[in-house]
């Protein structure tokens, strides 16, 4: 099955058309099917995924002609270890988890990824040689699940880069309100209290309102549409990383590979960097610029809040997946074709 654009509607239709209206899915060794919506218990006309097998990892290996299948499946298992129905979500064509896995799974000593970026403290050029996925850090009652963690070195300094991955969320899930945020984020002993300050929220175009003793909501001014969840997620990731830096590691069930990050982060000489990577390419005009502005505002406040912390750094402008277009890092041809780098 190819995508039936005629029966699609709304933002999903615009997104899928921009990405894949002229793409021939028959060139992939994969079956494209409508995504089954567990909430409504029926197939969705606005979402498509890779089907054709019970073992979703193997489905993706075949679809993208992955060369190092053993390494990919190892990372796939890690990437689907988070909360929720990750194995179902990661096969959806527009999945940000899928985008992260396909681009970052094969970072090794033999295939390093060299990234250049600016933090609030310095320009960085880091050689990364290992990638991990869905790293958990403790945040209030539930862990924060970081999409991507990269381990590397700049000169003689070890560096850990924590990245939240976004594909189209800033467009698909833009809204005017986000309810159900825990009031524990507003406690004086929680780092997030400063980021939920009314002055900061006003700069972001948001305002908060306490709904009950346990929860508050965020709302945009004038009912504007904004990816509020993305702002909330970054604040949660920041809170979790502050906990981890201070020695409060997540103690629940987690992949054994994550213990390497736990060990590294205890070393006070290791630089800990937080940022976000967003897909641009063909969908760059779908509200990305507005969300990027909000990210920069939030990053500025996080940088100010942590300027006395010698270990923590904040990436001031989002990284973009387009960095892979001209990168020497190996990205399989089928991945490049699917994300339209050469189209």
Residue 85: its pLDDT value, please?
A: 64
Residue 316 within any structural domain of the chain: yes
Both tokens assigned to 310:
């010698």
Element (H, E) at 45: strand 42-51
Indicate if 204 and 271 belong to the same structural domain.
Answer: no
Phi and psi for 15 in degrees, rounded to 5?
Answer: -65, -55
Indicate if 35 and 108 belong to the same structural domain.
Answer: yes
For tokens 């997540």, the residue is: 250
Phi and psi for 338 in degrees, rounded to 5?
Answer: -60, -40
Residue 100 within any structural domain of the chain: yes
Supply the range of the domain harboring residue 206: 176-223
Structural domain count of the chain: 2
Residue 41 within any structural domain of the chain: yes
Nearest partner of 100 among 72, 62, 141, judged by Cα: 72
- Contact at 8 Å (CB) between 215 and 181? yes
Indicate if 262 and 277 belong to the same structural domain.
Answer: yes
Question: What is the per-residue DSSP string for 264-307?
Answer: HHH-TTSEEEEEEEE--GGGTTSSHHHHHHHHHHHHHHHHHHTT
* C-alpha to C-alpha distance for 72 and 107, rounded to whole angstroms: 11
Indicate if 291 and 317 belong to the same structural domain.
Answer: yes
**Which residues lie below 8 Å from residue 40, measured CB to CB, with a gap of 6+?**
none
Cα three-residue angle 331-22-61, rounded to 5 degrees: 35
Residue 259: its pLDDT value, please?
A: 93
Residue 189: its pLDDT value, please?
A: 87
Residue 270 within any structural domain of the chain: yes
Burial of residue 165 (CB within 10 Å: 0-12, 13-18, 19+) is buried
Residue 343 within any structural domain of the chain: no
Indicate if 154 and 273 belong to the same structural domain.
Answer: yes
Low-confidence ranges of the chain (pLDDT < 70): 1, 82-85, 343
Residue 295 within any structural domain of the chain: yes
Indicate if 246 and 106 belong to the same structural domain.
Answer: yes
pLDDT tens digits for range 28-40: 998 999 998 888 8
Indicate if 165 and 181 belong to the same structural domain.
Answer: no
């Amino acid at each position: 099955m190819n995508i039936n654009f005629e029966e699609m509607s709304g933002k999903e239709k615009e997104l899928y058309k921009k990405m894949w209206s002229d793409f021939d899915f028959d060139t992939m060794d994969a079956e494209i099917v409508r995504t089954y919506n567990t909430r409504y218990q029926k197939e969705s006309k606005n979402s498509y995924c890779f089907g054709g097998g019970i073992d979703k990892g193997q489905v993706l290996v075949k679809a993208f002609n992955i060369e190092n299948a053993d390494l990919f499946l190892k990372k796939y298992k890690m990437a689907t270890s988070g909360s929720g129905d990750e194995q179902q979500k990661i096969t959806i064509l527009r999945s940000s988890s899928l985008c992260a896995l396909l681009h970052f799974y094969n970072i090794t000593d033999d295939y390093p990824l060299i990234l250049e970026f600016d933090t609030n403290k310095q320009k960085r050029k880091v050689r990364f040689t290992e990638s991990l996925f869905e790293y958990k850090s403790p945040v209030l009652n539930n862990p924060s699940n970081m999409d991507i963690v990269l381990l590397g070195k700049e000169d003689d300094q070890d560096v850990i880069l924590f990245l939240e991955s976004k594909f189209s969320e800033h467009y698909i899930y833009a809204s005017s309100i986000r309810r159900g945020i825990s009031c524990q984020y507003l406690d004086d002993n929680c780092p997030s209290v400063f980021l939920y300050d009314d002055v900061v929220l006003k700069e972001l175009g948001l305002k908060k309102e306490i709904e009950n003793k346990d929860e508050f909501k965020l709302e945009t001014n004038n009912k504007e549409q904004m990816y509020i969840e993305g702002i909330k997620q970054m604040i949660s990731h920041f809170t979790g990383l502050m906990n981890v830096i201070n020695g409060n590691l997540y103690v629940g069930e987690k992949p054994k590979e994550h213990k390497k990050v736990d060990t590294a982060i205890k070393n006070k000489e290791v630089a800990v960097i937080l940022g976000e990577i967003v897909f641009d390419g063909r969908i760059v005009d779908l509200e990305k610029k507005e969300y990027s502005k909000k990210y920069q505002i939030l990053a500025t406040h996080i940088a100010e809040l942590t300027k006395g912390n010698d270990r923590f750094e904040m990436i001031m402008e989002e990284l973009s997946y387009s960095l892979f277009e001209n990168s020497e890092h190996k990205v399989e041809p089928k991945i490049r074709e699917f994300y339209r780098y050469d189209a």
